[in-house]
Amino acid sequence: SSAVAHDLYYRVFNPRAPERLRLLVGRLAMVPALFAAAYVGINPPGFVAQVVAFAFGLAASGLFPAILLGIFDRRMNAQGAIAGMIMGLGFTTVMIALMRAPQLFGAPEPYLKDFFGISAE
């Protein structure tokens, strides 16, 4: 709702809107978001959980090593963080694609989880 009020309404439609009006627009935008979240929470479609799990997996594989090493390792630099984020994201994307190959492409069962002991599920 804050993105709708600030980024969309204030920046695009009404740049001269006072703060009270922006607050009202944000509160009004929260109503449909609440109903949509409640509906999806009560009647969850099957693919939503899978998409959320993939999104968290991809985000964690790219961000977690950079954040952890940035906090605890003094030798960590921007180039290393970017390289680690790209490699983590790439590796996780490939693993998800290979583990889902039978469903996605009709390919034979992947043997990577047996060979490497790694599963993207």
- What's the confidence (pLDDT) of residue 103? 64
* Tokens describing residue 80: 């290393």
Those residues with Cβ within 8 angstroms of residue 117's Cβ, 6 or more apart along the chain or in another chain: none
| Selection from 63, 116, 65 nearest residue 94 by Cα | 116
Mean pLDDT of 59-66: 88
Domain ranges of the chain: 2-42, 46-116
pTM (global) more than 0.75: no
- What's the confidence (pLDDT) of residue 24? 93
First-to-final CA distance of the chain: 33
C-beta atoms surrounding 31 within 10 Å? 10
